[in-house]
């Protein structure tokens, strides 16, 4: 009976991990919305104006060197770094070559915005890693019974938490922010 309970607990922990990962996406989405608002405000443009239809002034506020994605009316998508704007012509470099596109040819412009916190990603990784380590520990307890002591379980949990924290610290979130759109 004890082995069955431990096995079920282990299966439950392993099945719940995707739900934790989906929760991470929701948390990241909320944080990036906050970043979008702060980026728009830091550029002197309100968030609503920044994504307003046909707002060329929001495009003018993109600093040179920022990463952008331009979608043309014919559906072509180009990524590059902002060079500047002259009148109604957008200039940027894509694959180390200069590109100039007139405003009437552009359907959408996105700006790559980095956001998120390495500390928050580290904490999230720690929690996920500890959960995976605990699941592995429960598996060993179920498989080998009384031969596995609490120290081995704690060691596996700590090892998983350490790996999760290390992986979490390596990543910093980023998102494409819609700056300009013509319907």
Q: Give the model confidence (pLDDT) of 3-45 as tens digits.
A: 544 554 544 545 555 444 344 444 444 444 444 454 445 555 4
Q: What is the mean pLDDT of residues 162-181?
A: 83
| Judgement on whether residues 97 and 127 belong to the same structural domain of the protein | no
Q: Diameter of the chain by CA atoms?
A: 76
Judgement on whether residues 96 and 54 belong to the same structural domain of the protein: yes
Tell me the pLDDT band of 49, cut-offs 50, 70 and 90.
very low
Do residues 129 and 148 share a domain?
A: yes
Residue-level pLDDT at 16: 52
Cα angle: 139, vertex 21, 11; to 5 degrees: 20
DSSP element (H, E) containing 17: helix 2-42
Secondary structure in 3-state letters for 105-130 = HEEEEEEEEECCCHHHHHHHHHHHHH
* 20 and 76 together in one domain: no
Examine the pLDDT at 110 and tell me if it is beyond 80. yes
74 and 24 both lie in a single domain? no
Q: Which pLDDT does position 50 carry in this prediction?
A: 43
Query: What does the pLDDT read at residue 54?
Result: 59
Residue 145 confidence (pLDDT): 74
According to the model, what pLDDT value does residue 78 have?
94
pLDDT in tens, 61-109: 899 999 999 999 999 999 999 999 988 899 999 999 999 999 999 999 9
Read off the CATH number of the domain in which 65 is found: 2.30.30.100
CA 8 to chain CA mean position, Å: 32
Beta bridge partners of 177: 111
- Residue-level pLDDT at 20: 43
Altogether, the residues listed in the chain come to a count of: 183
Q: Does residue 131 belong to any structural domain of this protein?
A: yes
Domain match, 67 and 105 both = yes
Same domain for 111 and 134?
A: no
Residues 130 and 152 in one domain: yes
101 part of a folded domain: yes
Could you list the residue range(s) of the whole structural domain that residue 108 is in? 50-115+176-181
73 occurs within a structural domain: yes
Residue 37 to residue 35: CA distance in whole angstroms: 5
Q: Domain tally for the chain? A: 2
In a domain, 106, yes or no: yes
């Amino acid at each position: 009976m004890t082995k069955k309970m431990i096995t079920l607990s282990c299966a439950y922990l392993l099945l719940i991990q995707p739900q934790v990962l989906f929760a991470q996406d929701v948390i990241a989405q909320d944080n990036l919305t906050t970043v979008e608002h702060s980026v728009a405000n830091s550029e002197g443009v309100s968030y609503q104006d920044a994504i307003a239809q046909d707002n060329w002034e929001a495009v003018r506020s993109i600093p040179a060197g920022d990463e952008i994605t331009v979608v043309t009316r014919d559906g072509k998508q180009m990524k590059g770094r902002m060079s500047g704007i002259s009148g109604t012509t957008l200039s940027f470099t894509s694959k180390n070559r200069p590109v100039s596109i007139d405003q009437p040819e552009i359907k959408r412009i996105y700006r790559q915005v980095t956001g998120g916190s390495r500390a928050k990603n580290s904490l999230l990784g720690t929690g996920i890693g500890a959960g995976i380590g605990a699941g592995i520990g429960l598996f060993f307890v179920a498989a080998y019974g009384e031969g596995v002591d609490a120290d081995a379980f704690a060691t596996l949990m700590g090892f998983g938490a350490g790996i999760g924290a290390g992986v979490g610290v390596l990543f910093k979130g980023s998102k494409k922010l819609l700056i300009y759109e013509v319907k």
